[in-house]
Copies of this chain bind each other. A is one copy, B any other.
């Protein structure tokens, strides 16, 4: 089980998230509690793990990737909080837990999302007078040059922005109830979900000190799985059950969202997944057995419950 293999890394990520988030007892408590609630509501930490494993591919220490991994998880979590809002997908449950606005109210949920997005960039720009003693930031602050840290901020902000994730989200919203073209479905998948995943690989290469050819190679690998990850999510949405996924099933169908699955059907969706999985693994073969765990994680991403 991949999560057992990676349990030490997941532990480190969770400890570091706890370190970076404001304390529940700090003033003003409500927003701090709301930020923590969503971060610790059962995420699988796939994105942070992708950053750490890609960084390690180049022989770099895991610790170096911790601040970017936490920043990435914060941005992913903020996007879920805002997606779930009544004005957006209007979801009451996520990962088996009540969504932020159901627990804290809409205003606090909006602000908790804003705060997580903002904290991501705070973390990446720290100089760490008081932080330097922490094992969660030590390598990042002492070994990663300012130019590289700027590059990481650039990758993250562009992937999360209007030409990345937010672009995918707005097109997704505008497509509800419409009969949309396959290119639009592909735009949604590659932007709404794919952009951050691609950024994980790219940030890993940049942090690990890979060259331009590595960046090209791992971007291609990421593109293969980036948009497919959403197709798998749609498959789970159809075939899963409430306990396993922890959210209302068939929500996308209820909203009459056009997905790859609803457009091309089950067989074609699974064929796409298999094809893209093989494509990504083939690219990673270049790195020999150093890429073994990364390959396992990708397998978990695309075949989770199957």
Chain A contact residues, CB within 8 Å of chain B? 22, 27-28, 30-32, 35, 78, 82, 85, 87-88, 105-108, 110-111, 113-115, 117-119, 121-122, 124-127, 145-147, 149-151, 153-154, 156-158, 160-163, 166-167, 169-171, 173-174
Contact = CB atoms under 8 A, between A and B. Distances in A.
Main DSSP-derived SS at the A contact region = helix
A110 B125 contact: no
B87 A162 contact: no
Q: Which of A32, A108, A166 has the most CB of B within 10 A?
A: A166
Contact of A166 (B111, B127, B154): B111
A215 to B, nearest CB: 14
A162 B118 contact: yes
B149 A150 contact: yes
A28 B171 contact: yes
Copy number of this protein in the oligomer? 2
Contacts of A147: 146
A179 B118 CA distance: 31
B170 A111 contact: yes
17 contacts: A22-B163, A28-B162, A28-B171, A32-B162, A35-B162, A87-B105, A87-B107, A110-B110, A111-B169, A111-B170, A114-B114, A115-B161, A118-B162, A118-B166, A122-B157, A125-B151, A145-B146
Nearest to A123: B157
